């Protein structure tokens, strides 16, 4: 059985681990790193519950080998909140009731995070297209779209405040 050492960062922390060549990224995250917020819904690249960001790009981790993550920066749902504060996407799902059972939610949030990084003000159609690989069996999609819109608005207003002259963060941004 061939084993490999991989080095990567996961939620900002350096990780070095030994994996079998056949280990899927989702199993590595859940079983070796105990990051069980990344879910497995189908194992066949259909549901998106296993979505994580790899170098900022959403991928379905049930369809990637752990060895392919060598040298990459991985982000899972456990790394989305910072310093105890919810990310605007998490807040959006809370405020707009974007979940019921929550099984699809980590994947939805990471897909949406990837979308907002490349398109900070997506249209409804662009949001629906972006999450078209993420299935939700209980909430329906309207509330999820509203949650992502909420996050886009919140991120835009935070950025605007930070860039205003005289704001503490604005001064930092300009220095
Ligand atoms: Fe990966 Fe469903 S578990 S897409
Ligand atoms: Fe239950 Fe989406 S909230 S599957």
Domain end (from 55, 79, 103) = 79
Contact 23, 11 (CB under 8 A): no
Is the pLDDT at 170 greater than 90? The verdict is: no
Residue 130's CB is within 10 A of a number of other CB atoms, namely 21
Task: Render pLDDT for 55-92 as a digit per residue (tens, 0 to 9).
Answer: 999 999 999 999 999 999 999 999 999 999 999 999 99
* Whether residue 112 has its Cβ less than 6 Å from ligand 1: no
Is the pLDDT at 172 greater than 80? The verdict is: no
CATH code, domain carrying 54: 3.10.20.30
pLDDT at 162: 85
Mean pLDDT estimate for the chain: 94
pLDDT at 164: 83
Domain end (from 29, 49, 79) = 79
pLDDT at 108: 98
* Together in a domain, 75 and 144: no
* Together in a domain, 58 and 115: no
Residue corresponding to tokens 């981790």: 61
Rounded Cα distance, 25 and 41, in Å = 14
Ligand 2 residue neighbourhood (C-beta within 6 Å): 99-105, 136-139
Task: Render pLDDT for 107-136 as a digit per residue (tens, 0 to 9).
Answer: 999 999 999 999 999 999 999 999 999 999
* Number of domains the chain contains: 2
Residue corresponding to tokens 């299935």: 135
Q: What is the mean pLDDT of residues 35-48?
A: 96
Cβ-based neighbours of 173, under 8 Å, separated by 6 or more: 162, 163
| 105 within some domain | yes
The DSSP annotation for 112-164 comes to HHHHHHH-SS--HHHHHHHGGG---SSS-SHHHHHHHHHHHHHHHHHHHHHHS
Which of 34-48, 51-65, 96-110, 157-171 is the least confident region?
157-171
pLDDT at 163: 85
C-alpha of residue 49 to centroid of ligand 1, in Å: 5
Whose Cα sits closest to atom 2 in ligand 2?
136
* Together in a domain, 74 and 93: no
CATH code, domain carrying 104: 1.10.150.120
Domain end (from 35, 62, 79) = 79
Q: Please, how many CA atoms are within 13 Å of residue 37, restricted to the half-sphere of its CB?
A: 16
* Together in a domain, 75 and 98: no
* Together in a domain, 158 and 93: yes
Q: What is the mean pLDDT of residues 31-55?
A: 97
Choice from 102, 109, 144 to test ligand 2 binding pocket (greatest atom count within 8 A of CB): 102
Strands 51-54, 73-75: pairing is antiparallel
Quick one: 74 exposed, middle or buried, by C-beta within 10 A (0-12, 13-18, 19+)?
buried
* Together in a domain, 92 and 162: yes
Is the pLDDT at 174 greater than 70? The verdict is: no
Rounded Cα distance, 82 and 86, in Å = 7
Domain that holds residue 109: 88-166
| 173 within some domain | no
Rounded Cα distance, 93 and 146, in Å = 8
pTM of the model: 0.92
């Amino acid at each position: 059985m061939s084993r490999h050492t991989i080095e990567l960062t996961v939620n900002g922390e350096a990780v070095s681990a030994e994996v079998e060549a056949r280990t899927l990224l989702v199993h590595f995250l859940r079983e070796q790193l105990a990051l069980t917020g990344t879910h497995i819904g189908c194992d066949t690249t259909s549901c998106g519950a296993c979505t994580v960001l790899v170098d900022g790009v959403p991928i379905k981790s049930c369809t990637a080998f752990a060895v392919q993550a060598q040298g990459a920066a991985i982000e899972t749902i456990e790394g989305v909140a910072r310093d105890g504060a919810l990310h605007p996407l998490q807040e959006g799902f809370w405020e707009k009731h974007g979940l019921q059972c929550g099984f699809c939610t980590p994947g939805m949030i990471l897909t949406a995070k990837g979308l907002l990084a490349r398109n900070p003000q997506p249209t409804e159609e662009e949001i629906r297209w972006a999450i078209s690989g993420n299935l939700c069996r209980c909430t329906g999609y309207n509330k999820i779209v509203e949650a992502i819109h909420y996050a886009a608005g919140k991120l835009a207003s935070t950025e605007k405040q930070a860039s205003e002259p005289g704001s503490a963060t604005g001064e930092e941004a300009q220095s």
